[in-house]
Amino acid sequence: MLQPGIHATEARKARHLDVCLDDDVASTLDAGWSGVRLRHEALPEIALDDVDCAARFLGFRLRAPILISSMTGGTARAAELNLRLAEAAEASGIAMGLGSGRALIENPALMHTFDVRAVAPQAVLFANIGAVSLNYGIGIDDVQRMIAELRADALFLHLNPLQEALQPGGDTNFRGLLPKIAELCAALDVPVVAKSVGSGISPVTAARLLDAGVAGIDTAAAGGTSWARVEGKRSGDDGREALAETFAGWGQPTAEAVCALRARFPSMPLIASGGVRTGVDIARAIALGADLCGLALPFLEAATISRAAVDELIGALVEGLRIAMFATGSATLAGLRRALL
Ligand SMILES: Cc1cc2nc3c(=O)[nH]c(=O)nc-3n(C[C@H](O)[C@H](O)[C@H](O)COP(=O)(O)O)c2cc1C
């Protein structure tokens, strides 16, 4: 017998996919990439073939500094999308995040919709859970079990107060979470990376999270998918949607968030995400100090078409990044970090 609420979680996840694919859910803020200028090198003194965009994150090796950001799980459609994304991540040596595992913890029969290890035995894989779930019946042992069963290498802990406040019946009690996050980080034997969902994380909050034992931060800042808009459009209520629209430009733009976090924490593992759309955006984010760059919605759109479309997207991102590196005379990502104007 399923617990009450289980079907609600699955239905919400299914609807999120439709809204993200069918509606305009772009933030009204710009991620800020156009303001980041890289030094063009007219005489690079390297060959394009010399450019190597291999990256390391949390000690894991990647062939390119790209992450398929956390999105889905919990439905038959999600299972297919996750498999396509995971196969592509495995083939191209990039990292992947699974969607929030709350539905899985509530209903273990959904394991097949999250479990991608059969097709991605080597890919760097992040499990995902909302920190606020720790105030709503999800225990540290539940998270530990989920990570073990998914054979995940790390955990994304998402922090989404705005999204919860805008969704009907959202989990809005964020009291006392920091000590629970500290307990979770101490209990797990994989690194925990804290992320937002399109609004960003300030340096002050990052410092509190790092003190609690978090290993790194994913900005998931503003300029890409707006979760205020997603929740507004999902609500089916004109008043709610109008209220959510007033938050469509909420948060810190991603380029700004990356700069602020890198300035304050020179060696913290840092992911830039939120409105990263091209290889040139990735080059700019790396030059600002990011170690890895995540994209969500573009990967959802590609995976909805086919596995080949996901491969094509990754190919275009890598090629754009490599050409930007070549045109700044940077044979490695370390070189690219010196190319900021
Ligand atoms: C369909 C969809 C589902 C998402 N589900 C989750 C989730 O379960 N957990 C999470 O941390 N973030 C989730 N996100 C947020 C993304 O991981 C990412 O932080 C955000 O969308 C910004 O990236 P983008 O501008 O490239 O889409 C989701 C995003 C999309 C598009």
Q: CATH number, domain at 261? A: 3.20.20.70
Q: Please check whether residue 114 lies inside any domain of the structure.
A: yes
pLDDT at 194: 98
Q: How confident is the model at residue 64 (pLDDT cuts 50, 70, 90)?
A: very high
pLDDT at 4: 44
Going by C-alpha positions, the residue among 181, 208, 190 that lies closest to residue 264 is 208
Q: Please check whether residue 46 lies inside any domain of the structure.
A: no
Q: How confident is the model at residue 3 (pLDDT cuts 50, 70, 90)?
A: very low
Ligand 1 centre to CA of 269 (Å) is 19
β-pairing, 55-57 vs 60-62, is: antiparallel
The residue to mutate among 297, 299, 304, having the most atoms of ligand 1 within 8 angstroms of its beta carbon, is: 297
pLDDT at 11: 78
Q: How confident is the model at residue 6 (pLDDT cuts 50, 70, 90)?
A: low
Q: Is the pLDDT of residue 266 over 60?
A: yes
Ligand 1 centre to CA of 331 (Å) is 31
Contact criterion met (CB below 8 Å) for 323 and 271 = no
What number does the ligand 1 atom closest to the CA of 277 have? 26
Q: Please check whether residue 220 lies inside any domain of the structure.
A: yes
Pocket (CB within 6 angstroms of ligand 1):
16-17, 20, 69-72, 99-100, 128, 156, 158, 195, 197-198, 220, 224-225, 273-276, 295-297, 300
What number does the ligand 1 atom closest to the CA of 294 have? 26
The residue count of the chain comes to: 341
159-195 pLDDT, tens per residue? Answer: 999 999 999 899 999 999 999 999 999 999 999 999 9
Q: Please check whether residue 18 lies inside any domain of the structure.
A: yes
pLDDT at 5: 55
CB atoms within 10 A of CB 93: 18
What is the spatial distance between Cα 237 and Cα 198, in angstroms, rounded to a whole number?
A: 22
Residue 157 Cα distances to 24, 41, 80, 193, 263, angstroms: 26, 40, 24, 6, 23
Least confident range of 13-17, 48-52, 129-133? 13-17
pLDDT at 1: 30
283-313 pLDDT, tens per residue? Answer: 999 999 999 999 999 999 999 999 999 999 9
Contact criterion met (CB below 8 Å) for 273 and 295 = yes
pLDDT at 189: 97
As a whole-number percent, the residues of the chain with pLDDT over 90 amount to 95
pLDDT at 10: 75
Q: Please check whether residue 194 lies inside any domain of the structure.
A: yes
Q: Please enumerate in sequence order all residues whose Cβ is within 8 A of that of 275, keeping only pairs 6 or more positions apart, or say none.
A: 27, 30, 31, 33, 221, 222, 223, 224, 225, 253, 254, 281
- Domain carrying residue 215: 6-38+58-320
Alpha carbon nearest to ligand 1 atom 4, residue = 71
Domains of the chain: total: 1
Q: Please enumerate in sequence order all residues whose Cβ is within 8 A of that of 306, keeping only pairs 6 or more positions apart, or say none.
A: 84
What is the spatial distance between Cα 323 and Cα 176, in angstroms, rounded to a whole number?
A: 47
What number does the ligand 1 atom closest to the CA of 196 have? 19
Tokens of 165: 């406040």
